[in-house]
A and B are shown apart, each in its own frame.
Chain A
Amino acid sequence: MIQDLLAPAVLIGIASSGIRLATPYLYATIGETFGQLSGVLNLGVEGIMLMGAYSGFYVTFKTGNPVLGLLAAIVVGGLMGLGMAIISVTFQAEQGISGIGVYLFGLGMSDLLFQKSLGTVETVSGFQPVEIPFLSQIPVLGQIFFRHNLLVYAAFLLVPVAWFVINKTTWGLKIQAVGQNPAAADALGVSVSAVRYATVTLGGVLSGIAGASLSIGLLNVFQQNLTSGMGFIAVALVYFGGWSPVGVLLGSLLFSLVNALQNWVQVLGIPIPSDFAVMMPYVLTILALVFAVRKVTQPAALTKPFERGEG
């Protein structure tokens, strides 16, 4: 039984679905990385993902066009991110608590809208796999990497793009400075609020896309609590990944591979109680956080609102 897992076809299957499952984590973690680097912890990622997933699904369901669905998820995610920015930057609310508020709002609202507008679980035809000519024909690698939908490719492209923005642009420098020492940035004429508004809103947009990548990319359904904790895992992965795009890429892959493995364990009927299999990613989250050391890269001002003249 266990050895079934080692059959080449199964291994390729696990790797390929691992890549696909990494997609929502990648969008969510990279978005959250921007926010946290600038000093704002948004615990509401899960809620924004749910709203993104719902709105992306609903618009696709009504129009038949997943691109419009994606746009809807972007707009809704962006608005929720903006809301979190208003709460945490302008009103300086305790970030941990307001993030939970955003989560509960997203959880309840997406379910309410779902019940009112759809009522039952429907399916849509979302983003379809695009085989990349040539590359997808390479044995093994082609199957693993180059037969996914556009949202998957874009998620992986986002990693180097995010790295570049953070490390090579003036905006990235401002983000890092605002998260490490907002008073210093302020004293040099950088608007701490403007930077944080931008990063948290961007985080919302990416979380919205993360949700949509589930509902109109991977699963093509929407149901209550579709994300089942992925948003929270994403927040943890940002710590685990040490606030770097490459770090969160590794974290996302680790989790998605465990997830994929868990799915296959169930599919193959390997006699591990399914509860244990389902628990794996969550146990792994806790272990990862326990063993991820506090790094110098941790934004020193994370969760601290900034007000001029305190220092």
Chain B
Amino acid sequence: MLTSAPHRIQRVELRDIVKRFPGVLANDHVNFEVQAGEVHALLGENGAGKTTLMRILYGLYQPDEGQILIDSRPVTIESPADSIRHGIGMIHQHFMLVPSLSVAANVALGLRSTREPLLDLEVVKERVRQLAEAYSMLVDPDAMLWQLAVGEQQRVEILKSLYRGAALLILDEPTAVLTPQEVEEFFVTLRRMADEGHALIFISHKLHEVLSISDRVTVLRNGQVVKTLKTADTNRQELARLMVGREVLLRVKRKPVQLGPPRLVIQDLWALGDKGLPAVRGVSLEVRAGEILGIAGVSGNGQRELAQTLAGLRKATQGRVLIDGDDVTGWAPDRLIAQGLSYIPEERMEDGVIRDMTVEENMMLEDHGRPPFARGIFLNFSAIAEHCDRLIGDFEIKTPSRRTPLGNLSGGNIQKLILARSLSRTPSVLIASQPTRGVDIGSTEYIHQRLIAQREQGTATVLISEDLDEVRNLSDRIAVMYEGRIMGIVERDEATVEQLGLMMAGVPMEEAAGQTG
């Protein structure tokens, strides 16, 4: 084969790893082991400590206690350079790539050149081509990184590790950015690597992926290993229970709701992205009272810009938006809020809340200027306190008090706060962008129920999510967005994963329907 590297490592063991962060025990005496030739899944909710454990193995963090053994020999890994030398590679949750450089340059970075101190990009390109072919990962070594789609960027990340002769590959939530078809291709590549003798650690919180690709699973919860089991001997329900610590509903129930008139109408909407190029390109949609319209798509296809434009945070360059028949195009957020629009932003820590302010203050960010919370220029503290306490109770927000600084809450509870804030005024239109990203299963379940229930209040909801299961579970209709355009809208009952996946990759709806029969 191309490298003898896969045989460099037979077995890697993490023993009694402890890692503390201020106020958090991220890894609590964790034992974990992976062998050559297997895909070992590390399953756990957000915040369970998966990334921390793997960053320790990769030398990005130092453990407070515990040992790492490679082929039964204890090793110290003080930096990524050490782990690379030991034959360990890591594909990070957030890609570690340099957008302004070419693929080859990204691969060559940090390596000794054959012509030191000069670069030897030609040699690198040739090797990259060979590797890409051997593992059927199509990548052009000359392409500039910023031009690549996310799926391609991920291949570059993998090639980077293979190029360095990685025998053990750590993949931190690698499928989050892929379409269903890309996930399948990706799993084929993983299998091939494992068959060749690589050891693979596959981190995920998606049960069906873990079940379909792994040989063994280790479930992590609150920094502790709950159990390690053979994938063949377990099932979805058991894994979900181990991961969350209780029985969970894997699907929410939805009551049928009588749809009302269109509340949100979008006509040929265009908007520019951060780089000044059109990101939303002629989107037309209609959402009726009581309806959830899901927008599926791989991240970076204009969903974020669409949501921001609807929320008044980004200028529409063309087209119109109507809420309840009023043309609201170009309105500022405060007017939109008064018109009945609510927005759950994708970047909740940046656009949704203020970390250093209290729960109460965050809860009132939008409504503090309106009666009964304001009297003239003064705040009505008793009305605010009562309102906040009620929402904290209603939405099951876990916080010591309404005066607690928001930064002390977990991601799931912060998201519940935003949801409470958005829904408390019974919005006519709700834009929910990635409402459960990075949120634990318990809170996700709750947020889903609330969104479903909101239909009965006559809210028209736009649900933007990269999680296809979420979109399929909640939506009445599903629109797929690709390169700023809507590829088509599929009715809930007619939508198959295959068809949606093809549409997410840019195949128009009719064609996609034809291909999947």
Contacts and interface: CB of A to CB of B under 8 A. Distances in A.
Q: Which of A186, A187, A189, A309 has the most CB of B within 10 A?
A: A187
Contacts of B60: 186-187, 308-309
A177 interface: yes
Given A168-B118, A173-B108, A187 B98 contact: no
B349 interface: no
Interface in A161-194: 168-174, 176-177, 180-181, 183-190
A187 B110 CA distance: 9
B117 A188 contact: no
Contact of B61 (A170, A187, A309, A311): A309
Contacts of A177: 98, 101, 109-110
A187 B117 contact: no
B65 to A, nearest CB: 18
A174 B110 contact: yes
A297 interface: yes
Q: Which of B81, B92, B96, B108 has the most CB of A within 10 A?
A: B96
B58 to A, nearest CB: 8
B105 interface: yes
Q: Which of B58, B80, B160 has the most CB of A within 10 A?
A: B80
B109 A188 contact: yes
Q: Which of B81, B110, B117 has the most CB of A within 10 A?
A: B110
B109 A190 contact: yes
B79 interface: yes
Interface residues of A, number: 25
Given A180-B98, A188-B160, A296-B100, A170 B80 contact: no
Interface residues of B, number: 33
B39 interface: no
Interface in B100-116: 100-101, 105-106, 108-113, 116
A174 B96 CA distance: 14
Nearest to A167: B119
Nearest to B107: A188
B96 A170 contact: no
A170 B146 contact: no
Given A173-B105, A189-B84, A309-B61, A184 B119 contact: no
Given A169-B118, A176-B101, A180-B101, A185 B146 contact: no
A176 B102 CA distance: 12
B252 to A, nearest CB: 34
Contacts, number: 80
B96 A184 contact: yes
Contacts of A300: 99
A180 B97 CA distance: 9
Interface in B58-72: 58, 60-61
B50 to A, nearest CB: 15
B96 A187 contact: yes
Contact of B117 (A169, A308, A309): A169
Contact of A186 (B80, B101, B112, B275): B80
Contacts of A180: 98-101
B246 interface: no
Contacts of B99: 180-181, 296, 300
A155 B81 CA distance: 37
A178 B256 CA distance: 55
B426 to A, nearest CB: 39
A241 to B, nearest CB: 16
A187 B90 contact: yes
B52 to A, nearest CB: 10
B94 interface: yes
A188 B80 contact: yes
Contacts of B105: 173
Given A180-B101, A181-B99, A173 B109 contact: yes
Nearest to B94: A311
B472 interface: no
Interface in B73-103: 79-81, 84, 90, 92, 94-101
Interface in A229-285: none
Contact of B109 (A168, A185, A296, A297): A185
A189 B101 contact: no
B110 A176 contact: no
B263 interface: no
Nearest to B92: A187
Given A173-B105, A180-B99, A296 B119 contact: no
A168 B160 contact: no
B119 A190 contact: no
B55 interface: yes
A26 B214 CA distance: 58
Contacts of B275: 296
A33 to B, nearest CB: 15
B385 to A, nearest CB: 36
A170 B100 contact: no
B108 A189 contact: no
Contacts of B90: 187
Contact of B146 (A168, A189, A296, A309): A296
Given A188-B80, A309-B55, A309-B60, A170 B97 contact: no
A155 to B, nearest CB: 23
Contacts of A187: 58, 60, 80, 90, 92, 96
Interface string B160-182: 10000000000000000000000
B84 A181 contact: no
Interface string B105-141: 1101111110011110000000000000000000000
Nearest to A170: B113
A190 B55 CA distance: 17
B165 to A, nearest CB: 13
B75 to A, nearest CB: 16
A184 B118 contact: no
Contacts of A190: 109-110
Given A173-B109, A188-B84, A189-B80, A183 B61 contact: no
**Which 10 pairs, one residue from A and one from B, show the smallest C-beta to C-beta distance?**
A189-B81, A188-B110, A184-B96, A190-B110, A187-B96, A180-B98, A177-B98, A181-B98, A169-B117, A189-B110
24 contacts: A170-B108, A170-B112, A170-B113, A171-B117, A173-B119, A176-B100, A180-B98, A181-B96, A181-B97, A184-B97, A184-B98, A184-B109, A185-B98, A185-B109, A186-B60, A186-B80, A188-B111, A189-B80, A189-B81, A189-B84, A190-B109, A190-B110, A296-B146, A311-B94
Given A184-B96, A188-B110, A189-B79, 7 more contacts: A171-B117, A176-B101, A180-B98, A180-B99, A180-B101, A183-B96, A186-B80
